[in-house]
Amino acid sequence: MIIDRLYRESVDKSPICVGLDTRLEYLPEYILDSDITIEDKIFEFNKKIIDNTFDLVACYKVQIAFYESLGIEGLKAYSRTLKYIKEKGKISIADVKRGDISSTAQAYGKAHFEGDFEADFITVNPYMGIDSVSPYFKYMENGSKGIFMLIRTSNKGSEDFQGINIKDRELFMKVSDKCKEWGENFIGKEGFSSLGGVVGLTYPEEFLKIRRNNPNTFFLIPGYGAQGGSGKDIKEILKDGICGVINSSRGIITAHKRKVEDEDFIRPIRDNTLKMKEDIEKWLK
């Protein structure tokens, strides 16, 4: 199952997920100034990062919004990036945060689990209920695909809804209940479900509540680095074993800016990946 593969990569390599939230301003000057298409510029940047970090990380998360904002050429780079991750034998998470009624969700499933935009996992917003999640189950039944549904996100605005108390229990805990319930049919041999959850590192105490409530849920964990999370914050969360992948985007893929703008730009990016790996492993010992 894909979730077993992701777990093993997290244990054998590290629980790092590199976020390829690529913007034009993140590119080193030598690529940005080159006489090639936007598609080729974006893909060349991503390819260099993948080639020089795949031995250190569990997976890559590709946020579609940054590619959509560049139009057709951006989406071509998005497609090529997902295909290249697969070529390298690594796992891809398409950060698309889809959440709509059943018929629309079926189309989203076809778009992101098949064809030009095929990924191993996608992110899903469950706000519209089971109708917005169940259409993806058919792709998960044979273990080849998985989803991460939003539970407790790392942004400050999440307080507007996620932290609301309903009968003395936070809304995010009720969502975590549904994540556990809906994921029961997709548990792999490593003990985790292919229906995972997104929980931010910026709320470590709340994360622990969710972790205890969801023993079979594997997590996609944003909030490390630029958003303030550190290896120390995950010490308690992962003390009983790896239960998720920790995403860093800007903290890794912009490491070269204002330092190295030529072909050596990849060196500080790899260095920052190694530093993140060391930071996490220090607190897991």
Report phi then psi at 100, rounded to 5: -150, 175
Q: Which of 48, 97, 174, 235 is catalytic?
A: 97
Rg of the Cα trace of the chain?
18
| Residue 149 CB partners (closer than 8 Å, separation 6+) | 123, 124, 125, 126, 133, 175, 179, 195, 196, 197, 198
Instruction: Tell me how far apart the terminal alpha carbons of the chain are, to the nearest angstrom.
Output: 28
**Cβ(136)–Cβ(124) below 8 Å:** yes
Please enumerate in sequence order all residues whose Cβ is within 8 A of that of 282, keeping only pairs 6 or more positions apart, or say none: 231
Asked if 83 is an active-site residue, the reply is: no
Residues 27 and 44: their CA atoms lie apart, in Å, by: 9
Nearest alpha carbon to residue 237 among 261, 255, 253, 213: 213
Catalytic machinery residues? 97
